[in-house]
Amino acid sequence: MGFADQFVWGLNAATLQDDAQHHAAEPLAAAALADLTGAGFGALLTRVKYADGSISKTFESGAQNLAQLLRIWINRVTEKGRERRWVKEGTEWDVRAAMTLYRRVAERSLAYWLDGKCDACHGTGTTHRMICQPCKGSGRGEIGGGGFEREKALDMVSELEGLLQAHNARSAALLR
């Protein structure tokens, strides 16, 4: 069982007792400790990606976690865009255009990372027993937007995946 599975199991546990029979709190503690040494929102990434759709209690909605993650991710993409100088920010108009670009890249990259399945085949890679033509059998959809924006969004998707994998690896190491 991978760390993400253990984390989701811990979130859905009926009791968070920590004794010889119950270990549901350990993955949650490991995720919290891994956040202290990493980017600071890896547990939120894991929760939004894997757990928010599976919580069975009606009062626990994933929308609040997704909104929080989106705010954090927009700030992170803005920092990355400025560090990497995606757009020259000379005038006030340039700053507004850059902020719009950063927001669009953040929204598109997060949406694609959470669910980048092809719309035609729903991620299976086949339609009517044939290879899906829009995705060429990969099951992955396209990120919308222009070439420059799409390139930056794909870059940020790989950044998100790297953050998640690094967090889960740190958490799994702490869990051992």
Which tens digits make up the pLDDT trace of 104-155?
999 999 999 998 899 889 888 998 889 999 898 999 988 877 899 999 999 9
**What is the percent of the chain with per-residue pLDDT over 70, rounded to a whole number?**
89
Which residue has tokens 């991978």? 2
Task: State how far the Cα of 28 lies from the Cα of 15, in Å rounded to an integer.
Answer: 13
- CB distance 78 to 54 below 8 Å: no
Under the banding of pLDDT at 50, 70 and 90, the label for residue 55 is very low
47: pLDDT strictly greater than 50:
yes
Q: Give the model's pLDDT for residue 5.
A: 80
92: pLDDT strictly greater than 70:
yes
Which residue has tokens 């299976």? 124
Lowest mean pLDDT among 45-54, 76-85, 90-99, 129-138: 45-54
Which strand (E) or helix (H) includes residue 130?
strand 130-131
Mean local confidence (pLDDT), 18-34: 76
Residue 109's alpha-carbon distances to 15, 112, 152, in angstroms, are 35, 5, 8
Fill in the DSSP letter of residue 82.
H
User: Residue 108 corresponds to which tokens in the numbers above?
Assistant: 């598109």
70: pLDDT strictly greater than 90:
yes
Fill in the DSSP letter of residue 91.
S
Mean local confidence (pLDDT), 64-93: 93
User: Residue 76 corresponds to which tokens in the numbers above?
Assistant: 């992170």
| Residue scoring higher pLDDT (76 or 21) | 76
What is the pTM for the complete model shown?
Answer: 0.82
Mean local confidence (pLDDT), 9-21: 71
**Sequence-separated (6 or more) residues with CB below 8 Å from residue 91:** none
- By CB atoms closer than 10 A (0-12, 13-18, 19+), residue 81 is buried
Under the banding of pLDDT at 50, 70 and 90, the label for residue 43 is confident
Task: State how far the Cα of 120 lies from the Cα of 13, in Å rounded to an integer.
Answer: 36
Under the banding of pLDDT at 50, 70 and 90, the label for residue 10 is confident
Q: Write down the mean pLDDT value for the chain.
A: 85
**What is the percent of the chain with per-residue pLDDT over 90, rounded to a whole number?**
39
Task: State how far the Cα of 168 lies from the Cα of 15, in Å rounded to an integer.
Answer: 23
